[in-house]
Amino acid sequence: MADSILNAFTVDQYRIGDSQAILYDRTRTAIFPEGYLGWLYLELKGERYSNRPGNGTLENLFCGLGDLSFDNIVAYLAKLPLIIMGKWEGNEFETMGLAFPTVMNGTPPERQSFIGYGFLRQYWGSAELEGLAMLGLSLMFQHFGLSAIHGVRYRENTLTARFAAQYGFRDDGVVPRYMVRRGVLVDAVVSTLMREDFEAYIKDKLIQVCTHG
């Protein structure tokens, strides 16, 4: 990994322009004030396709978790190394999304992890999201020394499928009756992003910038 193209992102602290991916650190109160995880939970809460209250967004982000209550999710997030994606407005950092590893196995460079990610609903469709996810994935691969990243989603979650595919995620298959959703076992799709495929995506992006910029 010493010669990885991702090293350039590490040097720049996973920042391009005003966009940045940052490891959550509760002691950095200028960026993450007291109560930040509770605020993040409330920002994520809500239905996916309407402004109504509900847990639809949380269901997709924490797929398979039966208890989506404030106390349970905040406690869960507090135990994980979180990657927060957002943009700078002067000296203020505006949170737009998060990513986190769940199950991690192996020793670098032979390490893999399942991850979760999500963006706050008000930013869905924003032009910055592709770049922010790129920075978040770069940080994930580099910081944890990963060779492969895996994701699990509900079968009908086609939006995530399309969004992830642009970075090189490929579906591995469907696991029937794998996750509990509202008390019912439902199918899950497992997908994988290999480090070399993500690096190929980065190289292609750099070529586009050099060609058009």
Task: Find the helix or strand (DSSP H, E) in which 48 lies.
Answer: none
Query: Global pTM?
Result: 0.93
The CATH number assigned to the domain holding 79 equals 3.40.630.30
pLDDT at 54: 76
> φ and ψ at 89, to 5 degrees?
-115, 90
Q: How confident is the model at residue 113 (pLDDT cuts 50, 70, 90)?
A: very high
The pLDDT value given to residue 205: 85
> How sure is the predictor about 150, in pLDDT bands with cuts at 50, 70 and 90?
very high
CA angle (95 as vertex; 143, 161 as ends), nearest 5:
70
Query: Residue 55: which pLDDT band, with cuts at 50, 70 and 90?
Result: confident
pLDDT at 213 over 60: no
Percent of the chain's residues with pLDDT above 90 = 84
Q: Given this model, what pLDDT does residue 1 score?
A: 65
Q: pLDDT digit string (tens) for 176-192?
A: 999 988 889 999 999 99
**Spatial CB neighbours of 140, under 8 Å, sequence gap ≥ 6:** 83, 99, 101, 113, 115, 146, 149
Average pLDDT, the chain: 93
Does 129 score more than 80 pLDDT? yes
Mean pLDDT computed over 146-166: 95
Query: Looking at the domain assignment, is residue 1 inside a domain?
Result: no
What pLDDT is stored for residue 171 in this prediction?
98
- Is 125 part of a structural domain of the chain? yes
Q: What's the pLDDT tens digit per position in 15-52?
A: 999 999 999 999 999 999 999 999 999 999 987 766 67
Task: List all residues 6 or more positions away from 25 whose beta carbon is below 8 Å from its beta carbon.
Answer: 31, 32
Residue 160 in any domain: the answer is: yes
Q: How far apart are CA 76 and CA 69, in angstroms?
A: 11
Query: Helix, strand or coil for residue 192?
Result: strand
Answer whether the bond into residue 108 is a cis peptide, omega within 30°.
Answer: no
117 part of a folded domain? yes
Which whole number is the average pLDDT over 101-108? Answer: 96
The predicted pLDDT at position 31 comes to: 97
183 within domain boundaries: yes
Q: Does some domain include residue 120?
A: yes
150 lies in some domain: yes
| pLDDT for the residue numbered 47 | 78
pLDDT at 131 over 60: yes
In a domain, 155, yes or no: yes
Work out the pLDDT band at 208, boundaries 50, 70, 90: confident
> How many domains would you assign to the chain?
1
Q: State which residues form the domain around 13.
A: 7-212
The pLDDT of residue 130: 95
Across the range 169-182, mean pLDDT stands at: 95
What gap in Å lies between CA 37 and CA 47, rounded to an integer? 19
